[in-house]
Chain A
């Protein structure tokens, strides 16, 4: 897929932290914001329920925010004491960036 997908089309991006784990982000863009966000992957997160606020932090996120801003939003959503292993807020933001700007040779 090249270029920009139409509004509402399914977006899919993945990023594997070198030596670590994969994070995958699936969503749509409606009216310029991320909708129906699903964050998945083979990372570890303790406690497991922290996946809910982490994912919610990207719901409604304006698609034109910088990767830094998205990473900060994800980091702020991980509750105190929770631990993300093998991935990072920056990796999640990179997966979103790849979903928004797919490289021509990628799926």
Chain B
């Protein structure tokens, strides 16, 4: 397969080219299942049981995804979440809360051997894993760039954010981009304090983000297809899916951990 020329000189494309990536398309899954799959697939990549993997997330329900270290009551209005049928889940990586509606966000995970980021600082590794996405957005005419530590941003506001966790010599790098935002519902469910805005100089949450729908007329699915095409043109890639064994293990962890109150309210 012909590959596009390297667009970013410091993107370390040779580290991507050293693997044949398994690309798993989006399948709608419950929020806690997505969280569990992150952990299971990362561990399996670390153990050499699956190739490096790019997995697109699909959502079967709206939810708030809290970062590993966030407090539920400081971040979420639980009554408003319940009233609106919005689940609350906690992911295994740090970072900030995401308000997710199934068609409103584009989320993916990269499960990679830790050797891919050998010698890189954490901030370098964040930019490294999202460089191909920034290029894919720019190819769509969106003036996007990476803003350390973990943001994909644009002149029209923040588009998305990434987070990482490391397990068994493997890296989980996952990123969510806003496609279309229900700002009214989001601000009822998430608590966005003024301290969070204190160094931004702006008052309202919706002004801090620039969802893709405001920057392109393309449907969400078209953007995802474009991203995957760009990935496959740039790096060796094969199709893939979550195996029955992986699904079973993830379902077990949903039941034992990720759907439990003890995990969700790990920090009350």
Asked if residues B74 and A40 are in contact (CB atoms below 8 Å), the reply is yes
A54 to chain B: closest residue by CB: B69
Binds B, one of A1-9, A45-53, A62-70, A72-80: A45-53
Asked if residues B92 and A22 are in contact (CB atoms below 8 Å), the reply is no
Contact of A40 with B267 at beta-carbon distance under 8 Å, contacts A15-B195, A24-B74 already known: yes
Any chain B CB within 8 A of the CB of A31? no
A50, chain B: closest CB distance, angstroms: 10
Asked if residues A47 and B199 are in contact (CB atoms below 8 Å), the reply is no
Asked if residues B122 and A44 are in contact (CB atoms below 8 Å), the reply is yes
Asked if residues A38 and B164 are in contact (CB atoms below 8 Å), the reply is no
B149 in complex: contacting residue of A20, A24, A48, CB < 8 Å:
A20
Asked if residues B67 and A47 are in contact (CB atoms below 8 Å), the reply is no
What does DSSP make chain B's interface, helix, strand, loop or mixed? loop
In this complex, how many residues of chain B approach chain A with their Cβ under 8 Å: the count is 27
The CA-CA distance from A44 to B267 in the complex, in Å, is 15
Any chain B CB within 8 A of the CB of A60? no
Asked if residues B122 and A85 are in contact (CB atoms below 8 Å), the reply is yes
B199 in complex: contacting residue of A19, A42, A48, A51, CB < 8 Å:
A19
Contact of A43 with B196 at beta-carbon distance under 8 Å, contacts A48-B94, A85-B149 already known: no
Any chain A CB within 8 A of the CB of B50? no
Asked if residues A42 and B94 are in contact (CB atoms below 8 Å), the reply is yes
**12 pairs from A and B in contact (CB 8 Å cutoff):** A14-B193, A19-B199, A21-B96, A26-B71, A38-B267, A42-B94, A43-B94, A45-B69, A48-B68, A85-B94, A85-B123, A86-B149
Interface residues of A (CB under 8 A from B): 12, 14-16, 18-22, 24, 26, 38-48, 51, 83, 85-86, 107
